[in-house]
Amino acid sequence: DQQVKQNSPSLSVQEGRISILNCDYTNSMFDYFLWYKKYPAEGPTFLISISSIKDKNEDGRFTVFLNKSAKHLSLHIVPSQPGDSAVYFCAASVGKSNFNKFYFGSGTKLNVKP
């Protein structure tokens, strides 16, 4: 039973435009969310996080939005760059500890076209 879902396996965006990646979760106990980025032949790397006490967190071109009532979060990349082309995973956990179990989505492959 997947508790974290990314329903779009792929997304294609023109360079300079906004990329919006979506993630839904089912467990209302989740209170800490992360986005990871993965290039081919490499492990995922941390991108941005948000805890449930916030509804938005921004870091440069990356912004994560959290809608707790809808159990939905999204990652916005503005402006998108070709180097952003990668697979993006969202992950959720109960409690803000790196030693907690994280549940991952299946990933969305973003292609930013020059």
Q: Is the distance from CB of 77 to CB of 62 less than 8 angstroms?
A: yes
Tokens of 34: 């992360």
Least Å distance between CB 80 and another protein? 23
Asked if 69 touches another protein (CB under 8 A), the answer is no
Asked if 62 touches another protein (CB under 8 A), the answer is no
Print burial letters for 30-59: b (CB count within 10 Å at least 16), e (below 16): bbbbbbbbbeeeeebeebbbbeeeeeebee
Closest by Cα among 35, 31, 77, 90 to 55: 31
Q: How many residues bind another protein (CB under 8 A)?
A: 24
Among 49, 52, 74, 111, binds another protein (CB under 8 A): 49
Among 69, 70, 83, 98, binds another protein (CB under 8 A): 98
Least Å distance between CB 41 and another protein? 6
What string marks each residue from 21 to 40 as x (binds another protein by CB under 8 A) or -? Answer: -------------x-x----
Asked if 60 touches another protein (CB under 8 A), the answer is no
Cis preceding linkage at 114, omega within 30: no
